[in-house]
Structure 1
């Protein structure tokens, strides 16, 4: 099943952190994530001050993840090491209990999704994020995933706000059930 906890955590490694697609995490990924985040948040602009902010955040995230997940201290984190670290630090926990750098990453990710800066990730922004990360054959699959995430309050405001995104991201990592309410947070999980 595509939405198992194991697959969800593997998805985070592959599509959120492993930016150079070499199958493992290292400091290079987080250096590239800093630049990517800067450019995306700036919608093409990459000011030195913004880049420095993202470099600090991503360096902190890498250092924290290394401490939690680089069990053999080789400077690289495998998917299995990452899963073990998530299991040890996130499973069964709420967003507020996550490691600080991971919380910062989640908030940055929301800002990057909220393209129009209105504080809500709507359907179009969700679609954009999904197709920019992976191959999806049908728009209906993305729309269905988005609609499955929404609760009544989300529908009233037209999408997902930051508080709800934090809650969903935490569920995505911390709920080990195959029917996790947040299983569609990143759209239909496609492992091509």
Structure 2
């Protein structure tokens, strides 16, 4: 027995079929050679994960599972951070102004022990982890944190159980006077909130 999936423009019923029935969103036709032809109607589009569709849990110190996710993305996080710093230096240096004086080595001299806070949300796609990462080369008195977002797939969108870096947060805030404030380095007081970029 074989199963064939037909696009909506092709009828699943053939001249050789001897029995047909409609079941919900599928049309089935059983033909003499015992082939089942399936015609799927268009499915509704599932919205992407967002602050509106995912309940993000409260901020808390990282636990074992969060540290495991961090360890899986640490190399990519550091590589992406350096790439962003050098790219923004050419176009909008304000984003990384607090850390421009740091060497690449000093900027990326953080580890899982510097991950101070996480928030976690679950969606049909998988697990979304937001992290507040301390940059130990920076003084406590000013901007000394990056906010990152990681994803652990659970339904085939990514390899199940494997963490990937989604993004490092950059913020573009329009000021009352019409100007903009750009930043990618945050303070201890800045809340860890949902972000897409």
Q: Does the pair score TM above 0.5?
A: no
Which one has the bigger helix percentage? 1
Which one has the bigger strand percentage? 2
* Rg larger in structure: 2
TM-score (norm 1): 0.29
TM-score (norm 2): 0.28
